Structure formats: structure tokens, C-alpha cells
Amino acid sequence: MNSSPDPTAALLDAVTLTARRLAGDDEVSPALHPSPRPEMGDYSTNAAMMLAKPLGRAPREIAAELAIAIEAELGPVLEKTEIAGPGFINLFLGDAWYREATSLMAATGAAGVPPVEDPERIIVEFVSANPTGPLTAASGRHAAYGDSLSRLLKATGNRITTEYYVNDGGTQVQNFAASIAARMNGEEPPKDGYKGTYVNELAERAKAEGHDPADLEKLALTGVAWMVEGIRGSLGNFGVGMDDFFSERSLYEDNLVDRGIERMREAGHVFDEDGAVWLRTTDFGDDKDRVLIRSSGEVTYFGADVAYHVDKIERGNDRLVDVLGADHHGYVARMAAAMEALEGGKAEFEAQIMQLIHLVEGGQRTKMSKRAGDIVTLDEL
């Protein structure tokens, strides 16, 4: 077996070499594919059928000759060969092949994945569920996909950072804090608050630690910190390790929003109209221009997210991968336009859309809601 980090390369090399010897042609390049069923071996090649016309011989006749040559070339790593159909050669691998393949992968640290020619620095953001409650079962799919994608990208030689975006700067967090405060006072959460039993537990913890229910700002910070602590633990239990948790609040505290908008303004892509600040995303294929800062001075969700992606770029990433829910499908074009406005395509943006999951109870589809307290947590799974 050769020293390639891809153990199947030795099989293809042997098939190609024997085919070229028989044909007397160094340009012959037969295919090698995994067999569709175990009884058909591990791999199959069409080499004999490729040589039938140039050699003027029947494919099965050529296959018989090639099979003997392939067995001699590969030796004990091949258990046997069989000729099938019009002239396919099925290869049955022996235990020696698996032992050598396992040793090779252990030595190289590559699970049969060839490295990319030009490794990139890639940041993969996934899960990023609001920190107003524990991770739900819906986040499990995002976690599994994002983690698997990150591992594959890393296995091919790229430098990977995994990141969770903590939405701790919006009204939902304010409602979350108000819900904790209400429970601390023995009251029902507000109309737009959160009613889960976990809120009661947070309220008890807050009282035990001496927090003031009137200090909603501190309750918000503390409640989010407790939730992020739990989220990190849930992901760890699920086998997913997140490199970083990025706080939305830091976008404002570190002036990243203003900096990102100014960067695009200097490039000529930002304009002011009706008291609001706009990004001219139509210049880059979007169906309409987008508001970054409303006339009230409030930064839009899109404006904050653009600033977040500016920060990703400034950290030196070549590719930004976002794993998003199906409800973000219409969001992709505008963010891609913003990235083009920012970098002119120098930093690639890629969105992976995950479909929603539905739980069934009593034969009926149910909908999870953190606000209503009707959830199935990832830990429960």
C-alpha cells in the first residue's frame, strides 16, 4: 500500500497500473467505485470495458487477465476478485488492507481524507440559539451538522474556529430578565416574557445569591451568563465543543457597529435617507436596499449582524460559514450582498440552511416555545 493519506489510492494505483500495462497506453484512467452491495465486493472497476475497444477483445476476457494482474500487484491486501456483468472486476479486500489502512490513518492523522491544496482559515457559526432558555431538541440537528462540517473541514487541513453567537443585546433578553424578576417577586411573567419552569429555577438562584429584582440590567447579564453556562454544558454532553461564544453586546461596547458601517460608507455603499442609515445591497444582487440603523437610532438585526461579520473578517478569516435555520432563507441574499460590499469577494460567505424539525405528540404536530415554556431540551434527548 502506498503512503497516501487516502488508503483507497493504492487500490486505484494498482488497477490503473495493470490496465496501462495491458493497453500499452499511459493515458488510460479507469474508475474505481465502492460496490453497491457487500456480495459484490468492496470496490468495482470498469477497466476491462475501457480496454475492450482499443484492444479489440471481449471485456470479460480482458477482465480475467486484469484480475490476475491486479491480484499479483496488490498481494495479501486483496482477498479475491470476481468478474461480474459485462466485464466489471469486483475487488474483495482482505484483513491486511484494513490493518494497513488503519495504521496509515493513525500515523497521518487523516481519516482517509486528502488535504486541500490551499488551506483556508474558516469560521463556522452554528446553533446560536437565543440565550433565554436551555437548548431545545431543535438545536440538536444544528449542533450535529455544524460540528460534523467543522470536523470535516479541519480534517482536510483547514484552520477552523467554531463559534456560537450569543444574542444578548435585544428586547428578548430584556423580557427574559423581567420574567426572572417577576418570579423573584412571586408574580407572573409579563405578556412577552418566559414562563418555563427553568425561569422559576433561575429566580430561586438569583434570590439565593442576593440579586435585586429591580436591577433588570444586572439580572439580564447574570441570567444570560447562567444560560450560556448551561448551553456550553449541553453541547459538551452532546459531544460538541465550541471554541468561542461571541456576545452581541460586545458589538456595541467595542464600537464594532459604527466601525463596520463606516467601513462600508467609505467604500460608497452606505447612504442616509429619511433619517435612517441604509446599505445599498441592490448593487450586489439583493432585491432592495436594507436599513442598518432606523430613524429612531436603533440598530437593526441586520445592522448588528453585518457588524458581527465585519469582526469575523477582521479576525483574518478567509471564509465565513453560517449554519442557519429555514426561517433565515430570505436572509442569505442580503448578507451575501453585505459581504460583497465589505470585501469585494475577498472573504467568502457561505450559508448552510437547516430545515425545521417537528415533534409529534398524540399523533399531532406540536410546536416548541421557550416563551410558553413548552420545550423538549437537548439534554432530555
Convert the pLDDT of each residue in 237-260 to its tens digit. 999 999 999 999 999 998 989 988
Do 286 and 344 belong to one domain? yes
pLDDT at 317: 95
Asked if 244 and 300 count as a contact pair (C-beta separation under 8 A), the reply is no
Do 263 and 331 belong to one domain? yes
Do 17 and 163 belong to one domain? no
What lies within 8 Å, CB to CB, of 112 at 6+ separation is 5, 6, 7, 8, 101, 105
Which of 84, 108, 132 is the last residue in one of the domains?
Answer: 108
pLDDT of 334 > 90? The answer is: no
Give the rounded percent of residues in the chain with a pLDDT score beyond 90.
64
Please, what is the angle between helix 332-343 and helix 256-266, to 10°?
Answer: 70
Do 26 and 155 belong to one domain? no
Convert the pLDDT of each residue in 194-221 to its tens digit. 998 999 999 999 999 999 999 999 999 9
Q: In which band, very low, low, confident or very high, does the pLDDT at 373 lie, cut at 50, 70 and 90?
A: low
Q: Stretch 367-373: mean pLDDT, rounded? A: 64
Given the C-alpha cell 470495458, which residue does it identify? Answer: 49
pLDDT of 5 > 80? The answer is: no
pLDDT of 7 > 70? The answer is: no
**Residue 378 covered by a domain:** no
pLDDT of 365 > 70? The answer is: yes
Distance CA 105, CA 229 (A): 36
Alpha carbon distances (Å) from 177 to 13, 108, 225, 328: 64, 50, 12, 26
Asked if 74 and 14 count as a contact pair (C-beta separation under 8 A), the reply is yes
Do 339 and 269 belong to one domain? yes
pLDDT of 154 > 80? The answer is: yes
Distance CA 224, CA 367 (A): 24
**Residue 238 covered by a domain:** yes
Convert the pLDDT of each residue in 45-69 to its tens digit. 999 999 999 999 999 999 999 999 9
Distance CA 97, CA 270 (A): 60
Do 66 and 139 belong to one domain? no
Q: In which band, very low, low, confident or very high, does the pLDDT at 298 lie, cut at 50, 70 and 90?
A: very high
pLDDT at 359: 73
Residue burial 190-229, b: 16+ Cβ < 10 Å; e: rest = eeebbbbebbbebbeebeeeebebeebeebbbbbbebbbe
Q: In which band, very low, low, confident or very high, does the pLDDT at 131 lie, cut at 50, 70 and 90?
A: very high
Do 69 and 104 belong to one domain? yes
CATH number at residue 130: 3.40.50.620
Distance CA 375, CA 381 (A): 12
CATH number at residue 63: 3.30.1360.70
Tally the residues of the chain. 381
pLDDT at 204: 98
* Structural domain that includes position 16: 9-108
Given the C-alpha cell 439565593, which residue does it identify? Answer: 208
Q: Stretch 108-112: mean pLDDT, rounded? A: 60
pLDDT at 332: 87
Q: Stretch 134-160: mean pLDDT, rounded? A: 93
pLDDT at 64: 96
- Write down the mean pLDDT value for the chain: 89
pLDDT of 26 > 90? The answer is: no
pLDDT of 4 > 80? The answer is: no
**Residue 227: closest CA among 130, 127, 131, 143:** 131
Based on the structure, what is the number of domains in the chain? 2
Do 273 and 131 belong to one domain? yes
Do 276 and 152 belong to one domain? yes
Higher pLDDT, 328 or 61: 61
Q: How many CB atoms lie within 10 A of CB 162?
A: 23
Distance CA 155, CA 144 (A): 16
**Residue 299 covered by a domain:** yes
pLDDT at 362: 77
Do 324 and 356 belong to one domain? yes
Residue 113: helix, strand or coil by DSSP? coil
Q: In which band, very low, low, confident or very high, does the pLDDT at 140 lie, cut at 50, 70 and 90?
A: very high
Alpha-helix runs per DSSP H in the chain: 9-23, 47-55, 59-74, 95-108, 137-155, 171-184, 197-208, 216-237, 249-253, 256-266, 301-314, 332-343
pLDDT at 370: 64
